[in-house]
Amino acid sequence: MSDTTLQTPLTVDDPRLTAFALGELDGARAAQIAAAVQNDPSLAAEVAAIQATAGDLTAALASTGQPRLGSDARAAIAAAAAPKRRLRLVPALSAGVLAAAGVAVAVLVQAPAMTDRKPARTTMIKPQAASHQDSNDQRVLGESGEVVVTYNIDIAGRMIDTGGMPASGPVVEYESEDRLQAAGQTEIGGASAFGAIGSGGRGDGRMRREYRSAAPAELRLAARDLNHEGYTALGGNAFRATAVDGGDASTFSIDVDTASYTNMRRMLLREQRMPPKEAVRIEEMLNYFRYAYAPPATASNNPFAVAAETTACPWNADHRLVRVGIQGAEIDRTERPASNLVFLIDTSGSMQSADKLQLLVQGFHHLVAGLDSRDRVAIVTYAGSAGLVLPSTSGDQHATINGALSRLRAGGSTNGGAGLSLAYATARQHFIDGGTNRVILATDGDFNVGTTSAGSLVDTVKAQAQGGIQMTVLGFGTGNLQDGRMEQLSNDGDGVYHYIDSERESQRVFGEGLTGTLVTIARDVKIQVFFNPAQVAGWRLVGYQNRRLAREDFNNDQKGAGEIGAGHQVTALYEIVPAGRAVPGHIATDPNPFVAGGAVETSAMTDPNGPMLRLRLRHKLPGADRSTLQEFDLADSGRDWLAASADTRWAAAVAGAGMRIRGEDAVAAWSWEAIRATAVDAVGSDPRGDRREFIQMIDTAMRLQPDAEPIGRHPLPGTEGADNELRPVTR
């Protein structure tokens, strides 16, 4: 190729001409083009013109205002560049601050040895594009040629002894991940770090997950596509037949989160848009509202009372509806146990907008107002580096605490892991035996996984919850909310997840609901329902999809579940297919010939005149290791929908709206008009206007996603009384 003549004549349309003009060609190739240009005045003119344009472009694009990273980000980079790799001082926690606060704590944190970390392993990469082309399945194939990547993540053996100090270092990194990136491969490791936290792969320490991911080469990120809110898809909510092995029991963990509801409210009322169906968790909608449930008898030791009602199902006349309601005991403000709180506040740049940091600070002001000298408050921020903004301070020092809150400023990047370690260390230092020890994480949800492994985050949160420090998660803002991850964190941390969409909501959570937010009255509350196959052909639990437990988990006291705070209410609905009716979607199975009666045929052993179901609850009192079992039988009253209590009608309307937004077939026959009419009829006194506000949300939803065609109106019911039909089981 030393020949300086070109094989084909050079034209003005040849990209090499531009490359030559811009000095992009190396010696031999440049010489070839130079020779051709010399012999052709039109080419020479072209080169001159390209160079002139290039000069103009360079001048035009030489901007005066160069974007710069914030000082926090630069500090974080400087810290990362520091020669000592393994041992690192938490940067923002200067010795001076510690000395001034009179706290003698060595915050020397050791990152775990890299050998603990096994790189994410690719077990199978299936190019699904080819095999799915015929099916025209956009969900699998995607617009940009998605592929399904399956891999295992080894999350075993990384938890380090927590003996009172932060367990995981602030900077825990997958080296393998960066190597992969440097090699220009798709980051399976990076995706795994995100995926691990949203998925519920617990127990055996290994997770096998499927993720859809777009092929990088195909990917063009348009600004309009960039809503960073993340939602984890919930499983389906199909009917189960009692005749099928294991289908006679339903086991789940209670849940008092309300985040999904307030997040939906933000989208429907403020942004006037339909929430994505993954954002709809029906149990959180149900549990947002207050119901007229009776409290536990004061003489009883029960931390909560339970009630249930059966009626016709409003969206399917052939089915029955069971509402289970739990009412936690109220605790007087003055009798509340002492609280040791650490606010872990995300002050990264994305928290800047008015619906985030400002609202967050207001919310904490509400909370602080309810604290007194029994309590302690510390504030830890994380943004690039983690910092102890306020050392643990007595709860009656409102001015000091509020002053520290008011001085918070957003800026810089996010390093959630470092902040988390510091927050737990601070909480551990000031641990109150018999009190509430809690880290309250406030964020728009963007834990920076670039410097923190999601797996170790979950391990830390779980281990700390077992060690008596719970985590409550407060979600803020729009556009960035990592909803699924936040919910997972609060679940792992034995805490609650709230989404704060307004000052009113922060008043609700921290003002009126403060004792409920701070005081746990029962832990690991599980519900198990045994259905009587002689009366029940099939059933489904409405909502609680990611709260389902295995049948054997019910009796396993090692298996954690949801907490109930003082005064909290929990509502669950079952849709029941009565015996003798077909269970939707059910496919008949064959009996096992080696088992007497076929093991699946149970009706011979049951009583057609017995109760419809047995409701079983387990809970632990705070501090107790062993659970307490309560059992109740529920007979179907045969009550008509017209006779249903207002609470059941309201719950059904809320669930119906949630299922409509989720696009569930089961409620397709229940029109928006009928749902709305049911809700309007069941509003009751509604002292805070919550229920009326929900009707506005229905109005928005039915406008955005109207019924395809008019659906027959449903008769309206009309009683107010909420009878408890449960009968305690005595042995």
Could you tell me the two tokens for 314? 């409003």
Quick one: 97 or 269, whose CB is closer to another protein?
269
44 lies in the binding site for another protein (CB under 8 A): no
Residue 217 as a binder of another protein (CB under 8 A): the answer is: yes
Chain-centre distance for alpha carbon 46: 58
* Residue 6 engages another protein in binding (rule: CB under 8 A): no
Contacting residue, 1, 9, 15, 709, with another protein by CB under 8 A:
15
* The binder of another protein chosen from 98, 101, 214, 729 (CB under 8 A): 214
Under the binding rule (CB under 8 A), the answer on residue 219 touching another protein is: yes
Under the binding rule (CB under 8 A), the answer on residue 227 touching another protein is: yes
Answer for the pair 312, 717: CB distance below 8 angstroms, yes or no.
no
Residue 307: closest CA among 533, 645, 687, 609: 645
516 binds another protein (CB under 8 A): no
Closest approach of another protein to the CB of residue 207, in Å: 15
Token output for 101: 């606060």
Residue range at the interface with another protein (CB under 8 A); choices 1-9, 91-99, 228-236, 391-399 = 228-236
Q: Show the site string, 557-576: x = touches another protein by CB under 8 A, - = not.
A: --------------------
Is 208 near another protein (CB under 8 A)?
no
- Which residues lie below 8 Å from residue 731, measured CB to CB, with a gap of 6+? none
Indicate which single residue of 250, 448, 460, 546 sits in contact with another protein (rule: CB under 8 A): 448
Residues 125-164 that bind another protein (CB under 8 A): 142
Q: How far is CA 112 from CA 105, 171, 517, 634, in A?
A: 20, 9, 34, 53
Q: Which residues of 290-309 are buried (b: 16+ CB within 10 A; e: fewer)?
A: bbbbeebeeeeebbbbbbbb
Instruction: Please give the backbone phi and psi of residue 362, each rounded to the nearest 5 degrees, phi first.
Output: -60, -45
* 64 touching another protein, by CB under 8 A: yes
Question: Which among 346, 337, 350, 383 is positioned nearest to 364, based on CA atoms?
Answer: 346
Strands 206-214 and 240-241: unpaired
Interface with another protein includes 680 (CB under 8 A)? no
**Cα-only R_g, the chain:** 30
Pair type for strands 470-476 and 520-531: unpaired
- Least Å distance, CB 301 to another protein, is 44
Q: Does 173 bind another protein (CB under 8 A)?
A: yes
Q: Is 317 in the site for another protein (CB under 8 A)?
A: no
* Interaction of residue 626 with another protein, rule CB under 8 A: no
Residue 679: what are its φ and ψ, rounded to 5°? -65, -45
Q: In this structure, are residues 531 and 248 in contact, taking their beta carbons and an 8 Å threshold?
A: yes
703 binds another protein (CB under 8 A): no
Residue among 280 and 463 whose Cβ is closer to another protein: 280
* From 14-22, 239-247, 416-424, 542-550, span contacting another protein (CB under 8 A): 14-22
Q: How far is it, in rounded angstroms, from Cα 328 to Cα 331? A: 9
Alpha carbon distance 28, 21 (integer Å)? 15
Tell whether residue 228 is a contact of another protein (CB under 8 A): yes
For residue 424, report the phi and psi dihedrals to the nearest 5 degrees.
-65, -40
CA–CA separation, 351 vs 443, rounded Å? 8
Closest approach of Cβ 179 to another protein, in Å?
Answer: 9
Q: Does 56 bind another protein (CB under 8 A)?
A: yes
Residue with tokens 């501090």, as numbered in its chain: 623
Nearer to another protein, 36 or 440 (CB): 36
Residue 692 CB: number of other CB atoms within 10 A?
A: 12
Piece in contact with another protein (CB under 8 A), picked from 88-96, 473-481, 489-497, 582-590: 473-481
Q: H/E element holding 291?
A: none
Among 204, 225, 332, 625, which residue interacts with another protein (rule: CB under 8 A)?
Answer: 225
Comparison of 502 and 628: residue with beta carbon closer to another protein: 502
Contact residue for another protein among 86, 212, 692, 713 (CB under 8 A): 212
Q: How far is the CB of 455 from another protein (least distance, A)?
A: 15
Stretch that binds another protein, among 276-284, 368-376, 500-508, 567-575 (CB under 8 A): 276-284
- Residues numbered 246 to 275 that lie near another protein (CB under 8 A) are 267, 271, 273
Alpha-carbon torsion (556, 557, 563, 566), positive or negative? positive
From CA 265, how far away is CA 50, in angstroms rounded? 56
Is there a contact between 603 and 533 (Cβ–Cβ < 8 Å)?
A: yes
Stated length of the chain:
731
Cβ neighbours of residue 387 closer than 8 Å, sequence gap 6 or more: 90, 92, 93, 380, 381, 422
Give the whole-angstrom CA distance, residue 702 versus residue 385. Answer: 46
Query: Which C-beta is closer to another protein: that of 479 or that of 597?
Result: 479
Q: How far is the CB of 85 from another protein (least distance, A)?
A: 8
Which residue, 669, 584, 572, 670, is CA-closest to 238?
584
The identity of residue 10, as a single letter, is L
Integer Cα distance of 167 and 112 in angstroms: 9
Element (H, E) at 562: strand 562-565
Segment near another protein (CB under 8 A), from 45-53, 98-106, 256-264, 629-637? 45-53
Q: How many residues bind another protein (CB under 8 A)?
A: 92
Q: How far is the CB of 642 from another protein (least distance, A)?
A: 39
- Closest approach, Cβ 93 to another protein, in A, equals 19
Per CB under 8 A, does 95 bind another protein?
A: no
Q: Which listed range, 474-482, 520-528, 576-584, 615-623, lies at the site for another protein (CB under 8 A)? A: 474-482
List 2, 7, 9, 61, residue binding another protein (CB under 8 A): 61
Judged by CB under 8 A, the residue of 211, 555, 680, 711 near another protein is 211
Q: Is 182 in the site for another protein (CB under 8 A)?
A: yes
240 forms bridges with which residues in the sheet?
A: 539
User: What's the min distance (Å) between Cβ of 55 and another protein?
Assistant: 9
Check residue 66 for interaction with another protein (CB under 8 A): yes
Find the shortest distance in angstroms from Cβ 232 to another protein: 7
Residues 327 to 386 in contact with another protein, rule: CB under 8 A: 348-350, 352-353, 384
Is 221 a residue that touches another protein (CB under 8 A)? yes
Of residues 405-434, which lie at the interface with another protein (CB under 8 A)?
412-414
Q: Encoding tokens for residue 661? A: 């937004």
Residue 58 as a binder of another protein (CB under 8 A): the answer is yes
231 scored as a contact of another protein (CB under 8 A): yes
